[in-house]
Amino acid sequence: MATKTLHLQHSLDSELSRVYEYILDFRKFGEIHPYMVEVNELSKTASNGIKYEVKEEAVLLGFLKMKPEYKAEVIEMEPHKHIQYLSNVKGGIVLVIDFMFTEDKNLNRVVVLENIQVKGNRFLIAYFMSILQKAHLQLFDNLARQLKK
């Protein structure tokens, strides 16, 4: 099983509480995610997280329509500082995303660092990681627009 890691940084002009709310509540996260079409809360987990059922729709290679369905767990590791997403995505791909938050109250700005780790077949994860990167860049653009409302 191969592992690939990606680090993304996003700077948002907003209060920490507003940004944090969109990342902690996976249903709200799904509202701004470009591929998620349905997110349902399932249950609390033993690790003090919340498990969700996720349905996505994406077009790959310009013509191949995919509709993956999977479960994801969201864990608040340290309140207002660190949230972790865990999921076993379609095709045996294991995804772990750590979101770390810092706030500059003087500038009313939040920086979100994303550490994304994907494990699975090395060919699948290379392609998956490129899709994920595009999706998360779009997601944080969507979030920036949403926060201005």
Q: How confident is the model at residue 123 (pLDDT cuts 50, 70, 90)?
A: confident
pLDDT for residue 63: 74
27: closest CA among 41, 12, 15, 14? Answer: 41
Distance (Å, whole) CA 97 – CA 90: 16
Q: CA-to-CA distance for 57 and 19, rounded, in angstroms?
A: 25
pLDDT above 90 for 144 = yes
Residue 95's DSSP bridge partners are 87, 118
C-alpha 89: how far from its chain's center?
12
Give residue-wise pLDDT tens across range 79-103.
999 999 999 987 789 999 999 999 9
Question: Residue written as tokens 């201005």?
Answer: 148
Rounded to whole angstroms, the Cα distance separating 77 from 42 reads 19
- Write the pLDDT tens digit of every residue in 17-59: 999 999 999 999 999 999 999 999 999 999 889 999 999 998 7
